[in-house]
Amino acid sequence: MTSLPTLLYTASQVQAMDRYIIDSGAVTGYELMNRAGRATFRVLLRHWPETRNIIVFCGGGNNGGDGYIIAGLARCKGISATVLALVNPDKLHGDALQAYHWAIETGVTVQTQALVDAPGISAAFSAVCAGEFSNGGARREATVIVDAMLGTGATGPLRAPFDSAVRVINQSACPVVSVDIPTGVSADSGVVSHLAVHAHVTVTYIAMKQGLLTGAAPNYTGKLYFDDLAVSPQTLANFRPASKRAALESWIAALPVRRVADHKGRFGRIIVVGGDLGMGGAAILASEAGARSGAGLISVATRSAHLTAVLSRRPEIMAKGVESGEELVHWLEEKLDQGQFTLVVGPGLGQGDWGTAIFNAVQTFLKSCYEKGIDLPSVWDADALNLISRSAQTEQGWMQRAVATPHPGEAARLLQCSVSDIEADRFAAVQKLSSRLGCTIVLKGAGTLVSALNCGAEGKHGDIWLANTGNPGMASGGMGDVLSGIIGALLAQGMPPLEAAVLGVLVHGESANLAIRERGMVSLLAGDVVDAIGSALSRHASEFALVSP
């Protein structure tokens, strides 16, 4: 059992890998099935060492074959094992059929009758439970369900009898282990069409399926384990990953080293633009996050009514009251005379007259700079994205150093589709957004995705990076403002947009993970995440140690 790998693949790629491994003669299909069964059974006993009974729901493919192996391993260890076969064993073939015969030899009980509809499955499950929980039988808490019904190749809504079996499993009081992927979850996108197994633990094999880490999937996988089944990484070298998983410990080294003689000018300036009346807190959160993420100087351009709040809450931040687009452009031009900076546009901006005027002014300013050969980095969030979606703006040259951070609702407005369309294929959506705006995109949500156009190839996309970090406590107001400030600070320190976006998402998630240790998930606020940024950086960045220039 190894940590989750960096390289992520689609279901079709993993199926091609299976065929390649077997065809190459490196290992037989049945041996792979045995390795998968043993890996899953080890995890099962690690979580529930007092297990006395397992009930395995088996389908008809290799996933079901894995289930028969698990049942047989349980019997070999003296654990009661019953298989509820949703596909009659007469229809099994190949490795799955061999696994079935071996399970029978070990003494596994296989039930097939009446497993065609909800009443039959429910009755069979209840009968097994009644027998095991009777006098001298296993306690309910010592019984584990194994979901080995459908594997990575399954697509579309669940059909009978699998939909009924999923309902029985989810309504039980028993812990559940899913084999490779919870039945009902898409291995490609993480989508659940209408129903899926709620697993406590999922063990996946050979290569990491990208859908397990994003969309709705994390709600269903429970604790996720990966086992390469002793397949050499070199065996898979011919398969280009569909996406990649980002980890903070790998990306933190991209931050600049703080040398003894450095000064604030070396670490850049950011200007946060936003905060219409009643929404000044968003601009404050973004600017505070930028300050905690290492930017040398932080300024805020906001409504004059918010100046006192900004300065009293955080005196390290410089604040400018602007009431018109012309006033903002004049001030930005003055700032540019002092040196380049990064703009963070959108936190609390609103879509009213003031917000629209400020948005148009920023775009005019950036276009003018670009025409003069000054390519300023920028971050676009919240209502700035909504205002873009109302315009006909497409890819612009001045957006090449920009990062846009839409959540699924904003993404849907930008692509003129529904939120369900976005969530149906988040990987395709993040690339469409990158093409639409011509910049790096952070598609927020569980398993945040980051993608950019490949600057070396016209219209081509680079890698998609997935960050499975953070926690459900982040589902509250202001979190996106904090993220935009972090990314802005990283851009200001000289990081390229893609690197700044990926590292920003990772720091954001890790800060939230640290913050819940004190606050808990229910009480977590965006300001708590800001306060934890320093700890998140220092815990992972030995590069921050002072060194001589």
CA nearest to 149, candidates 141, 139, 140, 160: 160
Query: Please, what is the angle between helix 426-437 and helix 408-415, to 10°?
Result: 60
* Token pair recorded at residue 215: 């969309």
Name every residue whose Cβ is closer than 8 Å to that of residue 539 and which is 6 or more positions away in sequence.
510, 514
The answer on whether 65 is annotated among ligand-binding residues is: yes
* Token pair recorded at residue 392: 């006909």
The answer on whether 157 is annotated among ligand-binding residues is: yes
Q: Distance between alpha carbon 449 and the CA centroid of its chain, in Å? A: 7
The whole-angstrom separation of Cα 314 and Cα 292 is 11
The answer on whether 321 is annotated among ligand-binding residues is: no
CA nearest to 539, candidates 511, 520, 509, 504: 511
Give φ, ψ of 180 to 5 degrees.
Answer: 75, -50
The answer on whether 67 is annotated among ligand-binding residues is: no
The answer on whether 119 is annotated among ligand-binding residues is: no
The whole-angstrom separation of Cα 378 and Cα 491 is 8
The answer on whether 28 is annotated among ligand-binding residues is: no
Is the backbone of residue 222 left (phi > 0), alpha (psi -120 to 50) or beta? left
The answer on whether 282 is annotated among ligand-binding residues is: yes
The answer on whether 204 is annotated among ligand-binding residues is: no
The answer on whether 155 is annotated among ligand-binding residues is: yes
The answer on whether 504 is annotated among ligand-binding residues is: no
The answer on whether 325 is annotated among ligand-binding residues is: no
In the numeric block, the tokens 């584990």 are attached to 144
The answer on whether 154 is annotated among ligand-binding residues is: yes
The answer on whether 480 is annotated among ligand-binding residues is: yes
The answer on whether 135 is annotated among ligand-binding residues is: no
The answer on whether 66 is annotated among ligand-binding residues is: yes
In the numeric block, the tokens 């708590």 are attached to 528
The answer on whether 222 is annotated among ligand-binding residues is: no
The whole-angstrom separation of Cα 239 and Cα 526 is 40
The answer on whether 235 is annotated among ligand-binding residues is: no
The answer on whether 63 is annotated among ligand-binding residues is: yes
What DSSP line would sit under 416-430, residue for residue?
TS-HHHHHHTHHHHH
The answer on whether 147 is annotated among ligand-binding residues is: yes
Q: Distance between alpha carbon 512 and the CA centroid of its chain, in Å? A: 14
Q: Binding site membership for K(+): which residues? A: 63, 147, 183
Q: Binding site membership: which residues? A: 62-66, 147, 151-157, 180, 183, 282, 348, 407, 444-448, 480-481
Q: Binding site membership for AMP: which residues? A: 444-448, 480
Q: Binding site membership for (6S)-NADPHX: which residues? A: 62-66, 151-157, 180, 282, 348, 407, 481
